């Protein structure tokens, strides 16, 4: 063993400050989304920009580069799985990405995000794509300028993906998504019902918000929400964030006419929150103390929302609790009907309202279009037409207007290209992790049915959460499942559940 | 006119970042006091320390010193009242103070604050001064080390005062406080009643917290609380803070058995909030965009709590509104009894529970003791005895135990020595400002009685709030009142009101 170089303590100290700045940023965002009076918005923009610039300055400090240079030869001789070795590698990764992007381009990107979201909002409100096209053109131009800062990629889209899902490539995504489409299209054809279903499923209201909140609190307490270390608040666009160890904040929104949104949304955000809460204490004040990717993050939220929340045993556990809290007791619905109802398949125009089965076809469409835009085979002006064609091809739906079509999501206006695929990656990972989990915890169904969530949570924490950013996503998945990311577990899971619930292969209802 | 030096833009940019960091710090504190789950406390300490060190690093950056060196000759030729001239002077002041204190001492002070508060908490809980003495000894030692960083002072206590009340000196305070004691002691002797009064005055409950909140919201809306730009939340130790323009947050606490605390406390915090809200937009993202001193800040809160809130006309306006919101309608109390009740004078052991008339005697005691401790004429071990002697001399009370005596306030544990006098300075300034205000707004009583607060608020904003830190407190007061800080207006105000309310010179009740 060579002696530990003195630069390591300096790296830890700089890392702690970067981690703190990230957590403070999370608090600014949480507060803005939940508590801030509306007139505070302009100043909040300044605060976020200042924090961003302070952090960027520290991340690109040449002294940090010198520390890494000094530490890397030492790291090369250590156990490659040691925390410090991984820390050095991750900080190097962040440092290299940050120094390659000129400050002026970073400022342009930040300004365009605010401007693009405003343009998108105006366009969607009037369902008028022409009010969005220039902003989108600018976003594409900025992505090209951003990609040009790097040189070690096969496909320009790889550079964009890497910001959200380290280790993922365009080539891998194309193969995964092609297989997914092949599996999903016939499944949807078999499972989707266009027969008039009860308008809002088992959760149709009206339910007073206070009743919904009480029911949620009860369910969340049952799965592990601890008031000493968690908060639940209202936000127009729900999210989850850890401000620091012992401070996890999840959000939801309520619709009097449909409790399903708040219910499954909260389970989803609980999954995100549990991930961040489970990061090892000794990593949490360091650059390793964050979630490793959007895909892995989404795998945890989808696991709680769908693999747990829409499973037969968990539905059996939750139904009496919900019925006890909601007036009318969910109209005495049976466990079978409840389970079938929350797994119904409907083709729909809007991604965020779509069910677990059709959801990924919405993502496939966005991936295809992003790729064509970046490759230059699709122009911004042809985008609405291409959207509508894709919706028809993948989901058999005619898009009535752009507000319910190409203008439905904020992402592109904010410059987030390469982000959508991570939603589907999360779905795939969740199913794949669940297979590994089921092998390790053969009693899982019985445990879920009894509301015994300890073994599940321990498994997730030890295998995934605890590591933070220590292992890049492909390595993490391989360590846990012994496999590369694959489509088959997700398709197997869906087909089995839809069959079990009577959604697939049942007589028409 | 000489050309504007290019360094000015750089100073503005650095100033904006310092201001943003200050506002972010305010948000961390607000969140910690109102929203943060308890287990988040340790991480929040890290966040605050990181923000502090990032700000300190920027404030002591030698490049900032060079900018100031380059700008000062230019500033000397400009209108001395120009914003930029004052900005350069204030940043110079901050810079010089920051660079004189070694980082290691700053860190020791910060650590001792946390440790001292914990020691104080344990000592107060058991009413055992011996558990606090070492922490207090350390705080005194740190104050001496801090004072030793400076050299241009007459009395070491001046250095401590200057952090809270720029321009105030020990010599001036001694004279002011001596005059105050001479006026207050006989006034209290005449006005205080030891007869058993209705236990909690006109606001004795029980009142459900929801009812109190509704009544407060109604009163606050009447005085100018705007939900678009303000928040009201619960905090164990109420405070007010502006996070940025359009984002003012005040806090209160509720006691079911006494609405007076929440009511006058909210008016107090409203006054603080209004001050910060009124700072000119063009100053707010700069080091001039903060309140100028604790004394001026307190003058604004006390003005709303006492000069407005306990005045005959405002009581007349508020009583029917309160009676309409509180169940039982305040038992049909008359306006006269209400007015007399909220101005009753009682000698009491606890500063934060004391009335407007006796309050400053509590402060005088603390000032005397702080001075003796700093001068070395009083030892820490003799402090409890000196406290008890002073309470007897000034207020005629026997202190039953240290928890209700020398251990009642957190300030000394946190290292805040030189802070207490600003409470009394605020009271004095408020009365002095009110005399100037009354001369400018001869209709003020009629306006208060009708709830017409526009003219009052405009006067306060234009004369005081708008300027932020532009004018040091003595200059600000001279500009508004034409006078130096004095005791007479406060004594006049008290004597007149207590007479008018029937508290002074009335038959024993």
Interatomic CA distance for residues B480 and B203, integer angstroms: 36
Give Cβ neighbours of residue B81 (< 8 Å, ≥ 6 apart): none
Residue B452 bears catalytic tag: no
Contact A43 B247 (CB under 8 A): yes
**pLDDT (0 to 100) of residue A1:** 57
Confidence of residue A201 (pLDDT cuts 50, 70, 90): confident
**pLDDT (0 to 100) of residue A345:** 94
Q: Are B486 and B428 in contact (CB under 8 A)?
A: yes
Read off the pTM: 0.94
**Kind of pairing, strands A240-244 and A247-252?**
antiparallel
Mutate to test the interface with B, among A23, A27, A277 (most CBs of B within 10 A): A27
From chain A, the residues in CB contact with B54 under 8 A are 17, 21, 54
Question: For residue A328, what is the DSSP state?
Answer: T
* Other Cβ atoms closer than 10 A to A426: 24
Contact A39 B231 (CB under 8 A): no
Q: How near does any CA of chain B get to the CA of A17, in Å? A: 6
Mean pLDDT of chain A: 95
Residue A96 has pLDDT above 90, yes or no: yes
At B240, phi and psi to the nearest 5?
A: -135, 145
Beta bridge partners of A258: A204
Interatomic CA distance for residues B394 and A314, integer angstroms: 69
Interatomic CA distance for residues A185 and A187, integer angstroms: 5
From chain A, the residues in CB contact with B20 under 8 A are 46-47, 50-51
Q: To which residue do tokens 């965009």 refer?
A: B289
Confidence of residue A331 (pLDDT cuts 50, 70, 90): confident
B482 phi-psi bin (left φ>0, alpha ψ -120 to 50, beta other): left
Going from the C-alpha of A305 to that of each of A149, A301, A322, A349, B182, the distances in angstroms are: 38, 6, 16, 21, 71
Name which of B44, B54, B285 is nearest A244 (Cβ-Cβ): B44
**pLDDT (0 to 100) of residue B79:** 97
Q: Are B169 and B125 in contact (CB under 8 A)?
A: no
Name which of B174, B162, B22, B243 is nearest B473 in CA terms: B162
Q: Are A239 and A33 in contact (CB under 8 A)?
A: yes
**Residues of B contacting chain A (CB within 8 angstroms):** 16-17, 20-21, 23-24, 27-28, 31, 35-44, 46-47, 50-51, 53-54, 227-231, 243-248, 284-285
Residue range A1-37, pLDDT digits in tens: 578 999 999 999 999 999 999 999 999 999 999 999 9
Residue A507 has pLDDT above 80, yes or no: no
> In this structure, is the dihedral angle defined by the CA atoms of residues A438, A443, A448 and A454, taken in order, positive or negative?
negative
Name which of B23, B50, B227 is nearest A21 (Cβ-Cβ): B50
Mutate to test the interface with B, among A220, A241, A243 (most CBs of B within 10 A): A243
Interatomic CA distance for residues B415 and B410, integer angstroms: 9
Q: How near does any CA of chain A get to the CA of B43, in Å? A: 6
Residue range A31-42, pLDDT digits in tens: 999 999 999 998
Cα-based torsion angle of the residue sequence B459, B463, B465, B466 in order, rounded to the nearest 10 degrees:
110
Mutate to test the interface with B, among A210, A228, A244 (most CBs of B within 10 A): A244
Residue of A nearest to B18 (CA): A50
Mutate to test the interface with B, among A25, A54, A228, A242 (most CBs of B within 10 A): A54
Q: How near does any CA of chain A get to the CA of B185, in Å? A: 46
Spell out the long-range contacts of A502-507 with Cβ–Cβ below 8 A and sequence spacing 24 or more. Answer: A502/A336, A502/A340, A503/A191, A503/A340, A503/A343, A503/A344, A503/A345, A504/A187, A504/A190, A504/A191, A505/A190
Residue range A49-58, pLDDT digits in tens: 999 999 999 9
Q: How near does any CA of chain A get to the CA of B26, in Å? A: 11
**pLDDT (0 to 100) of residue B507:** 47
A505 phi-psi bin (left φ>0, alpha ψ -120 to 50, beta other): left
Residue A20: enclosing H or E segment and its boundaries?
helix A7-34
**pLDDT (0 to 100) of residue A509:** 41
**pLDDT (0 to 100) of residue B196:** 52
And the tokens for B402?
Answer: 């240290």
**pLDDT (0 to 100) of residue A199:** 55
Residue of B nearest to A42 (CA): B245
Name which of A37, A44, A243 is nearest B229 (Cβ-Cβ): A37
Name which of A24, A36, A47 is nearest B47 (Cβ-Cβ): A24
Q: Are A157 and A374 in contact (CB under 8 A)?
A: yes
Catalytic option among A90, A165, A269, A356:
A269
* Mean of pLDDT values over A186-214: 83
Question: For residue A404, what is the DSSP state?
Answer: G
Interatomic CA distance for residues B233 and B213, integer angstroms: 10
Give Cβ neighbours of residue B89 (< 8 Å, ≥ 6 apart): B75
Name which of A105, A16, A91 is nearest A60 in CA terms: A91
From chain A, the residues in CB contact with B44 under 8 A are 243-244, 247
Alpha helices in A224-334 (DSSP H): 259-277, 281-284, 294-302, 312-325
Contact A285 B43 (CB under 8 A): yes
Question: For residue B306, what is the DSSP state?
Answer: I
Residue of A nearest to B41 (CA): A246
Contact B39 A285 (CB under 8 A): no
**pLDDT (0 to 100) of residue B208:** 95
From chain B, the residues in CB contact with A50 under 8 A are 16-17, 20-21, 24
Cis before A206 (ω within 30): yes
Contact A53 B17 (CB under 8 A): yes
Catalytic option among B63, B165, B226, B269:
B269
Interatomic CA distance for residues B254 and B231, integer angstroms: 16
From chain A, the residues in CB contact with B43 under 8 A are 23, 243-247, 284-285
Q: How near does any CA of chain B get to the CA of A307, in Å? A: 29
Tens-binned pLDDT, residue by residue, of chain B (509 aa): 578 999 999 999 999 999 999 999 999 999 999 999 999 998 998 999 999 999 999 999 999 999 999 999 999 999 999 999 999 999 999 999 999 999 889 888 988 988 899 899 999 999 999 999 999 999 999 999 999 999 999 999 999 999 999 999 999 999 999 999 999 999 999 999 875 555 567 888 899 999 999 999 999 999 999 999 999 999 989 999 999 999 999 999 999 999 999 999 999 999 999 999 999 999 999 999 999 999 999 999 999 999 999 999 999 999 999 999 998 888 889 999 999 999 999 999 999 999 999 999 999 999 999 999 999 999 999 999 999 999 999 999 999 999 999 999 999 999 999 999 999 999 999 999 999 999 999 999 999 999 999 999 999 999 999 999 999 999 999 999 999 999 999 999 999 999 999 999 754 44
């Amino acid at each position: 063993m060579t002696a530990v170089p003195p630069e390591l303590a300096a790296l830890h100290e700089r890392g702690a400050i970067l981690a703190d700045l990230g957590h403070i940023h999370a608090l600014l965002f949480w507060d803005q989304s939940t508590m801030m009076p509306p007139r505070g918005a302009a100043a909040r923009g300044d605060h976020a920009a200042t924090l961003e610039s302070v952090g960027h300055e520290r991340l690109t400090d040449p002294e940090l580069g010198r520390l890494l240079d000094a530490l890397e030869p030492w790291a090369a001789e250590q156990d490659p799985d040691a925390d410090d070795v991984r820390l050095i590698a991750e900080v190097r990764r962040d440092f290299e990405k940050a120094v390659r992007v000129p400050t002026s381009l970073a400022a342009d990107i930040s300004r365009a995000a605010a401007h693009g979201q405003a343009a998108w909002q105006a366009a969607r409100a009037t369902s008028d794509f022409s009010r969005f096209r220039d902003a989108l053109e600018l976003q594409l131009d900025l992505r090209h300028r951003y990609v040009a800062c790097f040189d070690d990629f096969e496909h320009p889209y790889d550079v964009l993906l890497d910001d959200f899902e380290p280790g993922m490539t365009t080539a891998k995504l194309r193969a995964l998504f092609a297989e997914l489409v092949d599996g999903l299209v016939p499944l949807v054809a078999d499972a989707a019902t266009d027969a008039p279903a009860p308008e809002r499923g088992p959760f149709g209201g009206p339910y007073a918000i206070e009743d919904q909140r009480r029911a949620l609190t009860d369910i969340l307490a049952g799965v592990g929400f601890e008031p000493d270390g968690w908060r639940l608040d209202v936000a127009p666009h729900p999210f989850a964030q850890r401000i620091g160890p012992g401070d996890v904040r999840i959000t939801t929104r309520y619709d009097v006419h449909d409790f399903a949104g708040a219910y499954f949304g909260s389970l989803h955000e609980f999954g995100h929150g549990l991930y961040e809460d489970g990061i090892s204490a000794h990593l949490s004040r360091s650059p390793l103390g964050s979630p490793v990717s959007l895909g892995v993050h989404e795998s945890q939220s989808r696991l709680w929302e769908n693999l747990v929340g829409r499973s037969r045993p968990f539905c059996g556990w939750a139904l009496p609790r919900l019925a006890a809290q909601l007036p009318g007791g969910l109209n005495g619905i049976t466990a079978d009907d409840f389970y079938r109802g929350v797994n119904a398949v409907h083709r729909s125009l809007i991604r965020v309202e779509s069910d677990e089965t059709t959801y990924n076809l919405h993502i496939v469409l966005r991936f295809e279009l992003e790729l064509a835009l970046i490759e230059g085979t699709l122009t911004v002006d042809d985008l609405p037409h291409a959207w509508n064609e894709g919706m028809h091809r993948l989901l058999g739906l005619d898009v009535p207007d752009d507000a319910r079509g190409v203008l439905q999501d904020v992402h592109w206006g904010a410059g987030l290209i390469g982000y959508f695929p991570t939603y589907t990656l999360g779905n795939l990972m969740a199913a794949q992790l669940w297979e590994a989990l089921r092998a390790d915890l053969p009693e899982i169904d019985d445990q879920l049915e009894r509301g015994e969530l300890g073994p599940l949570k321990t498994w997730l924490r030890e295998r995934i959460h605890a590591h933070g950013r220590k292992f890049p996503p492909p390595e993490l998945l391989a360590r846990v499942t012994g496999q590369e990311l694959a489509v088959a577990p997700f398709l197997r899971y869906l087909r089995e559940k839809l069959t079990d619930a009577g959604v697939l292969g049942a007589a028409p209802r």
